Structure formats: C-alpha cells, structure tokens
Amino acid sequence: MLEPLEINLGKLLHKKRQELNMEISHIASYLKVKSQDIAAIEEERWAQITKHVYKPGLIRSYAKMLKIDMATIEERIRKLPFESNTKNQKYRLLNIGEEVEITPNRDMLINFLMISVLLFLALLAIFNAFEKKSGLLLNQELIGEMTAVKEIKE
C-alpha cells in the first residue's frame, strides 16, 4: 500500500513500527545499530545518526524489516539532505578518523623487510656466539689424531 507523500519518512516508519507493536530496541538489535539511531530516524534528526552508519542503507533496512513498499521509501530518501556516497569515498566501518591511512605503504614494507633481516642476522650472531665449537676438530688436532692412528696400525 502506497502511503501519501504528505506523511514524512520518520512518521511513516514510526507509525508502521507501532502498528506492528515492535520496540525500538528490538529493531536496533536486529539491524545491529544503536537504539538512538532508530529513534533519530523516526524523529528525522539525521545529523544525530552515528557518523559511521550509511544512513540511506539503514533507512532501507529498517523499512524492509517493517515491510514497507520500497518505492515509497526510495522516493522519500531522494528528498532527504544526505550527501551521496561518492562524496564519502573514505567511508570506514570504524570511526578511526578521516585522515588515518590504514593500508601499508611501500616505505612501511621496506622498513619491515630491513628490520626483519637485521633481526635475523642478530639472532644468527647470538646463536653462533653461544654455539659450542668443541665438536669440531682443528687442523692441528686432526693431523695429530691421524698420525696417532697411523702409529697404532704400524
């Protein structure tokens, strides 16, 4: 059933939720968002919806849960003052800041490789320092043992 366009989006969602006798906390839990975000949608306080939530997508999911006609929702979403998702190309699920780069760059990889090689060489040097060389025979000792064996055979 198409709702008249005079009813704003928030009131439409609120009215449908009450008709279905659903609690905001149940909807928030199902959609995995904060209850205050659902309340903000119903009261059309768009700026108070959590920063990292994609607002049109949340509204669509909420409307789908309430089984509201998507054509009606899409028409109303187009009239809302949201920035397009193309302007928000740095969209992140976690709110870690706009200027933080989370992917490693080339310099980080080179530094990691250099540190790894130096650490390997340091560990190798420590291993060799503590390695007992008693199992190895020096040239002088080898010659001495060979002559001793030769003398025993004669």
Which of residues 39, 63, 78 is at a domain's end?
78
Distance CA(145)–CA(142), nearest Å, equals: 5
69 and 14 together in one domain: yes
74 and 110 together in one domain: no
Q: Residue 125: which domain range?
A: 106-153
Q: Using one digit for the tens of pLDDT, what is the confidence trace for 29-85?
A: 888 888 898 998 889 888 788 776 688 888 888 888 888 888 888 888 888 776 655
69 and 24 together in one domain: yes
Distance CA(11)–CA(107), nearest Å, equals: 53
**9 half-sphere exposure, CB direction, 13 A CA radius:** 26
pLDDT of res. 86: 47
